[in-house]
Amino acid sequence: MQKAALLGTGSLIASASGATSRLENILSEPDNAFTLPALPYAYDALEPSIDKQTMEIHHTKHHQAYVNNLNKALSDLQKTTDKNSLEDICKNVSKYNTAVRNNAGGHYNHSLFWTLMKPAGGGNPAGSLMDAINSTFSSLENFKTTFSDKAKTVFGSGWAWLVVDSNKKLSIGTTPNQDNPLMDISEFKGTPVLGLDVWEHAYYLKYQNKRPDYISAWWNVVNWDEVSRLYSLVIK
Rank residues 68 and 92 by Cβ distance to Mn ion and give the closer one. 68
d(C-alpha 63, C-alpha 139), whole Å: 34
d(C-alpha 35, C-alpha 26), whole Å: 9
Q: Which of 197, 207, 215, 221 binds Mn ion (CB under 5 A)?
A: 197
Q: Fill in the amino acid letter for 16.
A: A
Rank residues 183 and 202 by Cβ distance to Mn ion and give the closer one. 202
**Which residue is nearest to Mn ion, using beta carbons?**
197
Q: Is 179 in the site for Mn ion (CB under 5 A)?
A: no
β-strand pairing of 170-176 with 158-164: antiparallel
CA dist list (Å): 91 to 55, 100, 150: 28, 12, 24
- Compute φ and ψ for 176, nearest 5 degrees: -80, 155
CA dist list (Å): 69 to 35, 105, 207: 11, 11, 28
How many residues bind Mn ion, per CB under 5 A?
3
Q: How far is the CB of 73 from Mn ion (least distance, A)?
A: 18
Rank residues 92 and 177 by Cβ distance to Mn ion and give the closer one. 177
Binding span for Mn ion by CB under 5 A among 41-49, 148-156, 189-197, 216-224: 189-197
Q: How far is the CB of 157 from Mn ion (least distance, A)?
A: 9
Rank residues 21 and 178 by Cβ distance to Mn ion and give the closer one. 178
Rank residues 199 and 218 by Cβ distance to Mn ion and give the closer one. 199
Return the number of other C-beta atoms located less than 10 Å from residue 43's C-beta. 23
Q: How far is the CB of 68 from Mn ion (least distance, A)?
A: 15
Binding region for Mn ion (CB under 5 A):
197, 199, 202
